[in-house]
Chains A and B, each alone.
Chain A
Amino acid sequence: MLPLLSIATFLPILGGLVLMALPDRSARVTHGVSIGVTGLTFLITLAIWARGIVPGGFAQIEEISWIPAIGAAYRLGLDGLSLPLVLLTSLLFLLSAIYSARVTERAATYVVLMLMLETASLGTFMALDGLLFYIFFEVSLVGMYFMIAGWGYEDRQRAALMFFLYTLLGSLPLLLAILGLYLSSGSFDMRVWIDAPPLTGIAAMLALIAMLFTFAVKIPAFPVHTWLPAAHVQAPTAGSVILAGVMLKFGTYGLIRFALQMTPEAFTRAGVVILVFGVVSAIYGAFAALAQSDLKKMIAYTSVNHMGYVVMGVAVAALATDPAMRVVALDGATLQMISHGIVTGALFFLVGMLQDRAHVRDMGDFGGLLGQVPWLGWAFILSAFASLGLPGLAHFPAEFQVFLATLNAQPWAVVAILAIVVTAGLYLRSVAAVFLGELNQKWAAMPDLDRREMLVIVPLLILTILIGVAPAWLLNMIHTTMASLSF
């Protein structure tokens, strides 16, 4: 059996190393390598999908001894929580590589950083060793820092610095929690920590608080979300897509994999507090987005809103007494991660395309573009409707399940549904401002999407509709694991 997980994880960075060794590193060759490597990685993750997962544990495990003295090993594996995220990651990196083909400034370095980020992201979702997980988790910070600092917009240095310091401060408590789990179990094997949570009582609560801090920064949940708008606004488009589509999921993935599964008792005890943070994030994110006129900032804040629903789902799962409702909440939360990756990824791509054309992204600067650039316009409208939770599109089945479980277990928390109304309002307002009304004559020569851009956006739109109309293929995968999750 080929170690497909390791191949998928390290193929991107190997591609990056090969690229550095090439004598000809023109933009054309560079982007050819980039698309080739990310495309191949995507195909490998499809093969991983074909191999399948098993209920009640991890599948396709690959294990090599690493630091035997402290029980750390190179361990990779998958379940129904990580497999959808792996597929989402490899897809978004492929699309980002295609979109980035127009980057000519220091193209080789840019591509190497992107490929390094892909390795880090895939590794984060597949690692089954606490130390290995932390390594991948942190390497992604370094890659994103240089991405923003090197290819971002006007105020990029400050934004990159803030991103790096903020998220490093955020992730170091996780290291303490991992060390705590290690010292009480004698191993870094995450399966050991999940099967028999080693910490109890006050130690478990301290570890949970450390982990919640780390993941709340990453998710990002109110009130530690402040790095996100700055980083998003300054990051290059592909950076924003990866940041929102993939890296925010580190937070919610960790919330389930670490916080919920490794300190379940403490999580249940703190469940109401976590739920409150989820509800506040959802509502705050929506209102903050409503206040923005910068399209990119607006979408960045809707991420706070959408990820708030994920937090709610996980908290409700911990609080629910009815096992069926637990599964519904976790299914919904996990599906929400995927939906958010696809829909927000598409929105950031579209805003990037708009900015490539107009070099501004304030919604007041546009107007009436639907007739001028119908493809771009309709793609934005479809994604916006998906993002506000319209039935038949990707977010609906996810948010429906989260709210269903919330109503059942903690009815008061359904107040978060208010946020959906706000989101609907802000998206309708932005669609009206940018695409409807009188055409702003400044943009009378704006071209519609070209072939490369279609190639990027169409797969995401198809998935948006597919998950909305027929989510079963994806939900079954998630459900396999969630139905047998013990915590």
Chain B
Amino acid sequence: MARDLSFLIPEILLSLAVVAMLIAEMARLARLALWIGLVGLTAATLATLPLLATDTIVFGGTYRIDLLNGWAKLILLPGTALSLLLARAEIAGKEREGSVYSLLCLVTLGALMLAGAGDMMMLVLGVVLTGLGSFALVAYPRDDAATEAGMKYLVFGAVTGSVMIYGLTFWFGGAGSTLFADLGALDGKPLIAIAGLVAVIVGLGYKASLVPFHFWAPDAYDGAPVSVAAYLSVITKTAAIFAFAQVLRDLPTGSGWPLVIALISAATMTYGYLAAVVQTNLVRLIAYSSVAQSGYFLMGIVALGVSPLAVPGVIIMAAAYVAMNLGAFAIVLVAGRHLDDIRGFGRTHPIAGVAMVVFLLSLTGIPPLFGFVGKVYLFGAAIEAGYLWLAIIGILNSVLALGVYLRIVVPMYQAAPEDVAGFRNSPHPALIAVIGVTSVVTLGMGLLAGLFPG
């Protein structure tokens, strides 16, 4: 037990920070809560570094301290810190400000559980913990749009979560254990394997906003504060992808799951970009684009266990995606929620404009940006696993992606409407910090990709 706890220092630090933040919020010290959160996240990130080479299981195999979980912490904890800064820039001085910060950190704790889940109950716990916090975050503004978005998100979450728990009972019955490590016992029981697989796809697919479980995403993102949308689009989604990796790498391929995931991957990226092409609301456009990005992640999941590029690909893509998507949302916070708001933005804000171009080209997968490196690994993994057709669909979608993102870039460099040009204030310092960090990561990490596991 004591041995196990020593592997959980990052999670413990984060939990302590959450408690301290809640106390600070009770004392109406929102700023203090923010700082506790930032310090706690930084400490937890640093505490992860010595554990990175570890590959072990704790608590009887229910929680995995491995490459995926380690990198999930290194990616999601700083990602959460950036989300806190985004939230600060958006809701500073509003009521219940500190609750938002502590909820963000609490949801991240659930996200880490998803990314390290080694057991069905841990998976359920992660889904519930991330879900409950997220519903409250989406409904935070308490206006009609936010309440509707929160309700939609909650109902969707409750249904998919129940389906998942129900389906997992099939695996429990078939394998005689709730540990994923025992899923090998399902080899030769394809029906049971598929029943559970469908349930997991429903439950996690909802979290990762995979087609056809993505309907909530554009509404929730649009109703929620922009910073919460940014957070949900990167942190809970990435965690769900990592959870997919944790579950599926133990599931016998005899159940045919790689093909199922490949089909969902193709449908997700294609539908996501097709839907994004017609959006005029910037938040919804990015929401659909992040649906599509989930499809690319699945190319790596498909190749799990077959291609050595699969796990590094998912990790690198996750790091890239967190940076570039948070950066793009930060720009939305500066520019405005509508596509018309961004007209002339590149001329009034030259540096932020270039940063936005960098984020969008990275999302497209243009080299030498970080997103490109992730896609190279994922395409390579899919080809090596024999899914050349999926890689070709991925490539066709990259062209579609460019069309989507250029819909933002082109108006950015048109002349700004007279009435807007004078009104734009310089962005909040927290936003400048977020844009700075994310653009340096997006620009620089492509060249430093050697730092990532091979």
Contact = CB atoms under 8 A, between A and B. Distances in A.
Interface of A: 65-70, 131, 134-135, 138-139, 141-142, 149-150, 157, 161, 164-165, 168-169, 172-173, 175-176, 179-180, 182-183
Contacts, number: 75
B344 to A, nearest CB: 14
Given A150-B413, A176-B383, A179-B376, A168 B402 contact: yes
B394 to A, nearest CB: 9
Nearest to B316: A67
B403 interface: yes
A176 B383 CA distance: 8
Contacts of A183: 380, 383-384
B453 interface: yes
Given A150-B413, A176-B379, A179-B379, A169 B399 contact: yes
Contacts of B41: none
Contacts of B395: 172-173, 175-176
A176 B392 contact: yes
Interface in B382-401: 383-384, 388, 391-392, 395-396, 398-399
A65 B450 CA distance: 9
User: Main secondary structure on chain B at its contact with chain A?
Assistant: helix
Q: Top 9 nearest A-B pairs by Cβ distance?
A: A69-B454, A135-B367, A172-B395, A169-B399, A67-B450, A135-B368, A179-B380, A138-B367, A67-B449
Given A135-B368, A168-B398, A161 B406 contact: yes
Contacts of B402: 164-165, 168
User: Main secondary structure on chain A at its contact with chain B?
Assistant: helix
User: Among the interface residues B388, B391, B396, B399, which one has the most CB atoms of the partner chain A within 10 A?
Assistant: B399
A6 to B, nearest CB: 14
B384 A69 contact: no
Interface string B403-438: 100100010010000000000000000000000000
B361 interface: yes
B366 A138 contact: yes
Interface in B340-381: 361, 366-368, 372-373, 376-377, 379-380
B312 interface: yes
Contact of B413 (A69, A149, A161, A165): A149
Contacts of A157: 410
14 contacts: A67-B373, A68-B454, A70-B309, A139-B366, A139-B367, A157-B410, A161-B410, A164-B406, A165-B402, A168-B399, A176-B379, A176-B391, A176-B392, A183-B383
B367 A172 contact: no
B361 A142 contact: yes
A141 B406 CA distance: 14
Contacts of A161: 403, 406, 410
A176 B132 CA distance: 42
Contacts of B376: 131, 175, 179
A267 to B, nearest CB: 21
Contacts of A169: 396, 399
User: Among the interface residues A161, A165, A175, which one has the most CB atoms of the partner chain B within 10 A?
Assistant: A175
Contacts of A150: 413
A134 B368 CA distance: 9
B368 A139 contact: yes
Contacts of A180: 383
Given A69-B454, A149-B413, A165 B399 contact: yes
Contacts of A70: 309, 377, 380, 454
Interface of B: 309, 312, 361, 366-368, 372-373, 376-377, 379-380, 383-384, 388, 391-392, 395-396, 398-399, 402-403, 406, 410, 413, 447, 449-450, 452-454
A152 B326 CA distance: 33
Contacts of A165: 399, 402-403
B356 to A, nearest CB: 13
A121 B450 CA distance: 25
Given A164-B402, A169-B399, 14 more contacts: A65-B450, A70-B309, A70-B377, A135-B367, A135-B372, A138-B367, A139-B366, A161-B403, A164-B406, A172-B399, A176-B388, A176-B391, A176-B392, A183-B383
Nearest to B347: A106
A161 B403 CA distance: 8
A85 B66 CA distance: 49
Nearest to B401: A168
Contact of A69 (B312, B383, B398, B406): B312
Contacts of B399: 165, 168-169, 172
A135 B367 CA distance: 5
Contacts of B396: 169, 172
Contacts of A176: 379, 383, 388, 391-392, 395
B281 to A, nearest CB: 21
Contacts of B391: 176, 179
A169 B392 CA distance: 11
A11 to B, nearest CB: 18
A164 B454 CA distance: 32
Contacts of A179: 376, 379-380, 383, 391
A150 B379 CA distance: 33
A321 B195 CA distance: 62
A173 B361 CA distance: 18
Contacts of B377: 70
Contacts of A142: 361, 366
A230 to B, nearest CB: 16
Contacts of A168: 366, 398-399, 402
User: Among the interface residues B368, B377, B403, which one has the most CB atoms of the partner chain A within 10 A?
Assistant: B368
Contact of B379 (A65, A164, A175): A175
Nearest to B406: A161
Contacts of B372: 135, 138
B359 to A, nearest CB: 14
B230 to A, nearest CB: 25
B53 to A, nearest CB: 15
Contacts of A139: 366-368
Nearest to B446: A135
A66 B410 CA distance: 34
A183 B307 CA distance: 10
Contacts of B361: 142
Nearest to A108: B350
A168 B405 CA distance: 13
A68 B449 CA distance: 9
B26 to A, nearest CB: 48
B404 to A, nearest CB: 11
Contacts of B406: 161, 164
A277 to B, nearest CB: 22
A69 B380 contact: no
A444 to B, nearest CB: 37
Nearest to A203: B388
A168 B367 CA distance: 12
A66 B454 CA distance: 12
Contacts of B312: 69
B376 to A, nearest CB: 7
Contacts of A134: 367
A182 B383 CA distance: 11
A348 to B, nearest CB: 25
Contacts of B447: 66
B270 to A, nearest CB: 15
